[in-house]
Amino acid sequence: MICKLKIKTPMSTKTKFILISLTLISTLGLAFSVSLHRATEKEYVSISPLKNDSIASVEAFKQVYKVLMSPRCVNCHPKGDIPLQGDNSVIHSMQPKRGKDGKGLYAMKCANCHQQSNSPGLNAPPGNPNWHLPPADMKMVFEGKTAHELAKQLVNPELNGHKNIKMLIAHADDGLVKGGWNPGEGRTVPPLTYAQFKKAWITWLQTGAYAPAQ
């Protein structure tokens, strides 16, 4: 009996210690995972609608629309299968075709002429490592669209390249978008600064992505 107790006592202290440690560790772990979860939730909340506000949203989109319809954007978002060029958005000389993946066809691959960065000189091709049109099965046409039509199209995952609001917000930092403000010699920049555009774009999306009536 005594012998049993003697052995049991130190063991149970040890066990208690282990149990307490385990409880502490798992409590900490739980607290940590809860706080991680909270952080992710917060991040998500901060980019989902701050507050639906149709007036602020429509106002922001009207600014965004001016940029989308500028030659720097519309030239790569044409309704046909040939890009446009210049400040007057005329059909691209030599008529390179979109192709299935938007990267051109046969000998007329976009990257043959459009380098990693702008080629120097007037009428030289602008450059970007990713220079191409949207693909044939998702043309993302801007040309000829009203503000109403374009606002609806941009948030439709079936038409915008399967983008959710978070991905659309991130697209403001896309290299081809930013390239609009570094278009190469002789080309005008869009009518808003890049910072103004990005602000309007995010405001539009965060306030509910409402479309103007027309």
User: Is residue 196 close enough to count as binding ligand HEC by CB under 6 A?
Assistant: no
Q: Which CB, 37 or 79, lies closer to ligand HEC? A: 79
Task: Give every CB contact of residue 119 below 8 A, 6+ residues apart in sequence.
Answer: 125, 126, 127, 184
User: Is residue 104 close enough to count as binding ligand HEC by CB under 6 A?
Assistant: yes
Cα–Cα distance measured from residue 110 to residue 129, given in angstroms and rounded to the nearest whole number: 11
User: Is residue 198 close enough to count as binding ligand HEC by CB under 6 A?
Assistant: no
* Among the listed residues 111, 108, 70, the one whose alpha carbon sits nearest the alpha carbon of residue 89: 70
Q: Which CB, 54 or 156, lies closer to ligand HEC? A: 156
Task: Give every CB contact of residue 122 below 8 A, 6+ residues apart in sequence.
Answer: 185, 186
x/- mask, ligand HEC, residues 164-193, rule CB under 6 A, reads ----x--x----xx--x--x---x--x---
CB 67 within 8 A of CB 73: yes
User: Is residue 108 close enough to count as binding ligand HEC by CB under 6 A?
Assistant: yes
Q: What is the DSSP letter of 173?
A: T
What tokens were used for 164? Answer: 């959710």
Residue 61 phi, psi dihedral angles, 5° rounding: -65, -30
Cα–Cα distance measured from residue 66 to residue 63, given in angstroms and rounded to the nearest whole number: 5
Q: Which CB, 58 or 68, lies closer to ligand HEC? A: 68
User: Is residue 200 close enough to count as binding ligand HEC by CB under 6 A?
Assistant: no
x/- mask, ligand HEC, residues 58-77, rule CB under 6 A, reads ---------xx--xxx-xxx
Positions touching ligand HEC (CB under 6 A) are 67-68, 71-73, 75-77, 83, 85-86, 92, 94, 96, 98, 102, 104, 108, 110, 112-114, 123, 125-126, 131-134, 140, 153-154, 160-161, 163, 168, 171, 176-177, 180, 183, 187, 190
